[in-house]
Amino acid sequence: MKKTLNINIGNTIVHIEEDAYETLTIYLNEVKFHFAKSADNFEIVTDIENRIAEMFSDLLQSQQKQVIDISDVRTVTARMGSVKDFEGEEAEEQGFHAEGYDYSGVKKLYRDTDQAVIAGVCSGLAHYLDMEDRWIRLIAILTVLLGGSGVLAYIVLWIMIPKAETKSEKMAMRGEEANLRGFANSYLQPFVTKSRGFIAEAFDLLGKFVNGTGRVVFKTIAIFIIVIGSFGLIALLTSVVAFLGIWDSEVTHMFPFSMVNEEYLSVLTLGAFLTTAIPLLALVLFTVRVAFSNRPVNKTFSLVLLIFWLTGVGITIFHVAKISSEFKENAEFSQLSEVKPFAEYTLQIDRTRFFTKEDSLQYHIDPSNYKGRKILSASYEDFNMPTSVSLSVEKSDNGRVSITQNFSSKGLTFEDALTNAQNIQYTFLQRDSALSFSPTIHLKKNANWRDQEVDMVLRVPVGTKLRTNRELSRYLSLYNYWECEHDENSEFIEFIMTEEGLKCQRERAEEESQR
């Protein structure tokens, strides 16, 4: 049994027999002595040791053993070559080939990040195919222009092809043998070239005509960006000034403006303007500089823009956070109303609004002259709150017909949430057997939207029939409205209350016929 040692070579722990270690030490000392006068001696020797460690690991794995012996060291040093192999110009290059290994200079596909424009895919393919990388890049440009498939192909290759990180991987990428001569040559003649711009190389290959056309197209696009950006800035500024100028109590009813507290309006509008306008201005200035001028933008001016933009972002985030905090707590209250009894009811959506006391305060009109009048139109009707009305129908336990309106809202505190819920205006009317429901809620003067909702529960006795119009279906919860539809031309769908709950009139009739 030979004595074994644990050594660290190339940051890898290797178990090696003592005589093999002595042979390896002699070999490495010769290598270090030979490259001692080289400016890159440390890097060369380190790369050689890393390569030897890789070869040792491959040998142990392929032969399924744990210890390196003298034969393994001789095999590896033979593949690496000795110092004498390249001391003279006429020295013959030594080669070695064994099963499971290929050190004959065959190229392997890696991404060349040293010459990368994006991720090194094109330059890596150029090495593998023995072509100039500019031709591969030209092909890539054409595939992008002729349908865009090149983008997907590039991303797939980027993911699949590994990056050449170690010296031996970069040598394998170029088809160089990973031996002493290869490592020495890689430092004596480093494989580094200056990578040109992606677009510039493509236009050079396409010729002077295409290059000139490209400049025209680029400037045309730049002019388009400048014009659109300038009009955007003017429109943004005009909109802000006009918005602040026409702001009054009526605008508070428009969603999403109804979310903003009136005291936050001016400063939040300023913050939003700075946040959006400054990047647009920066884009216009950058486009002008790149396309038409080589003069850089004044650093002081750039710094001022950055400060204003950060200020706008800070203002916007601060006030958005304050408004969001007013949705923290939830509160609700209920209101029970008796409904006149009928054997059959018609449920429908009614968009009619009647003039109220709150409307008189909002429009500064004497309520005595307009009490009970209908509001035919309102300028903010197209900006109503999100759908926040729901209706469900349940069986009455006491034989009476009633409707419970549950008003809920959110707020900073429970008290605020309850106040917000009390600010809800909702219209429910009974005209004989017709029950009319408003499709939306309205808020009292100066009230902000805080997720106010109205959930109504209509309770009717068993045997009561209900006719609902189609528009009500989006508000009628817990029922599959369309399963009850038997006539597409009919405006109403009929239900009936049973002991089991609300059912389609047709379904009820079918059950009775089967008995």
Tell me the two tokens of residue 209: 């005509």
Local confidence band at 215 (pLDDT 50, 70, 90 cut-offs): low
Percent of the chain scored above 90 by pLDDT? 8
The kind and range of the H/E element at 353 are strand 353-354
- Of residues 443 and 201, more confidence is placed in 443
Q: Is 236 in contact with 277 (CB distance < 8 Å)?
A: yes
Q: Which amino acid is at 47?
A: D
pLDDT in tens, 391-434: 888 888 888 899 999 999 999 999 999 998 888 888 888 888 88
Cα atoms in the Cβ-side hemisphere of radius 13 Å centred on 393 = 30
**Per-residue pLDDT for 200 more than 60?**
no
The residues, ordered by sequence, that sit 6+ positions from 451 with a Cβ below 8 Å of its Cβ are 327, 388, 409, 410
Of the chain, the percentage scoring pLDDT greater than 70 comes to 69
- pLDDT of 247 > 60? The answer is no
Does the pLDDT at position 497 exceed 70?
yes
State the burial class of residue 218 (Cβ atoms within 10 Å of its Cβ: 0-12, 13-18, 19+): middle
Question: Roughly how many angstroms between the first and final C-alpha of the chain, as a whole number?
Answer: 97
Confidence at 268, pLDDT banded by 50, 70, 90: confident
Q: Helical H runs in 293-352?
A: 299-325
- Summarize pLDDT for 273-285 with one digit per residue, the tens: 999 998 888 888 8
Sequence-separated (6 or more) residues with CB below 8 Å from residue 135: 126, 205
Per-residue pLDDT tens digits for 25-51: 888 887 777 777 666 667 777 778 887
**pTM value surpassing 0.75:** no
* Phi and psi, residue 437, nearest 5°: -120, 135
Window from 307-311, 387-391, 464-468 with minimum mean pLDDT = 387-391
Q: Which residue has the higher pLDDT, 431 or 213?
A: 431
How many CB atoms lie under 10 A from the CB of residue 31? 23
pLDDT value of position 149 = 64
- Report how far residue 493's alpha carbon sits from residue 467's, in angstroms, rounded to the nearest whole number: 6
- Check residues 23 and 474 and name the one with the higher pLDDT: 23
Helices (H), 81-207: 121-129, 133-145, 149-160, 167-174, 180-188, 198-206
In the prediction, which pLDDT does 310 show?
92
Tokens of 219: 């400037």
Contact 139, 125 (CB under 8 A): no
More confident residue, 252 or 319: 319
80-100 average pLDDT score: 51
The predicted pLDDT at position 120 comes to 78
pLDDT at 193: 45
CB burial of 464-497 (b: ≥16 within 10 Å; e: otherwise) equals bbbbbebebbebbeebebeebeeeeeeeebbbbb
Exposed (0-12), middle (13-18) or buried (19+): which is 195, by Cβ within 10 Å?
middle
Give me the pLDDT at residue 183, please. 63
Confidence at residue 86, expressed as pLDDT on a 0 to 100 scale: 58
63 burial via Cβ count (<10 Å: 0-12, 13-18, 19+)? exposed
Question: Does 376 or 133 have the greater pLDDT score?
Answer: 133
CA distance 449 to 443: 8
The arrangement of strands across the sheet holding 329-338 comes to 329-338, 402-411, 453-460, 389-395
| CA neighbor of 435 nearest in space, from 511, 338, 319, 294 | 338
**Rounded average pLDDT over 91-118:** 58
Rounded to an integer, the average pLDDT of 475-500 is: 72
Residue 304: pLDDT above 50? Answer: yes
**Mean pLDDT, rounded, for 166-192:** 63
Q: Of the ranges 235-249, 315-329, 476-490, which is most confident?
A: 315-329
pLDDT score of 406: 93
User: What local confidence, expressed as pLDDT, does residue 90 receive?
Assistant: 37
Cα–Cα dist 79/59, whole Å: 13
